[in-house]
Amino acid sequence: MAATYEPIATTTLGSAAASIDFTSIGSGFTDLRLVLAGSTSASTYLYFTINNTTTPYSYTYLYGTGAVANSKRNTSGGLTGIFINDEVATGVSDRFLAELNFFSYAGSTYKTSLSKYSGDRNGSGQVQLNVNLWGSTSAITQITLYPSSGNFETGTTATLFGILKA
C-alpha cells in the first residue's frame, strides 16, 4: 500500500544556518507539507522561495498580534519571496512553528499554497495565515527557507512531507 503521508527529507541544524534548502524534490506525490520549528539568532521575518526563483510571488494573509487583527495583501511585482510572518518579527532565540502546505505541486498550473505561522512569546507574538501564489506552471522541485536577517539557530528542524491522494 502506498504511503499517504511520508517524510521526504528532514534537516535538524547542528550549527546555525542562513537558510534551509530542500532540493531535487521528486514529482511522486500529490501535495507537499513542510514543517519548520525552531528559532532565529536575530529578530527577523521568515520567507521562502520556490525553485530558487525570485519572482513571481503574491500572497494574502490574515494575522493577529494579540492587539490587532487584520488582513493584507502583497502583490508587488518586485516580491522576491513569500513572507510567513509579516507584522511581528521573531524574537531572538524565541521558538516558532511554520506549517506550509503546497497543493498539486507537480502540476502545470500556477502553484497555490497555504501557510501558518505560530509564534507566541509570552507577552508578544503573532499568528498569521497565508494563501500564497507562485505564478509559474513549472513543477516545484526546490523550496528554500530564509530569515531576512540573522540565522536559523542550532536545533531548528525542517521536515518536508509528501502527501499522496491515492
Partner 1 sequence: MATTYTLINSNTLSSSAASVTFSSIPATYDDLVLQASIRNNRSSVMGGCRVRFNNLSTSIYSYTYVDSDGSSATSTRSSATTEFEFVGNGNTSTADTFGSLELYLPNYTGSAKKCFSTFAVSENNATNANIRAEADLMDITSAINQITFLLPGASTYSIGSSFWLYGIKNS
Residue numbers of the site for partner 1 (CB under 8 A)?
A: 1, 3-7, 10, 35, 37, 39, 62-71, 95-97, 99, 116-127, 129, 155, 157, 159, 161
Q: Which is nearer to partner 1, 9 or 79 (CB)?
A: 9
Q: Which is nearer to partner 1, 51 or 94 (CB)?
A: 94
Q: Which is nearer to partner 1, 52 or 69 (CB)?
A: 69
Cα–Cα distances (Å) from 31 to 82, 86, 110, 134, in that order, read 18, 25, 14, 15
Task: Quote the cell numbers at residue 98.
Answer: 511554520
CA distance 134 to 107: 12
Contact predicate 111/134, CB 8 Å: yes
Contact predicate 3/149, CB 8 Å: no
Q: Which is nearer to partner 1, 18 or 69 (CB)?
A: 69
Q: Least distance from C-beta 37 to partner 1, angstroms?
A: 4
Q: Least distance from C-beta 151 to partner 1, angstroms?
A: 16
Q: Least distance from C-beta 109 to partner 1, angstroms?
A: 26
Task: Quote the cell numbers at residue 166.
Answer: 491515492
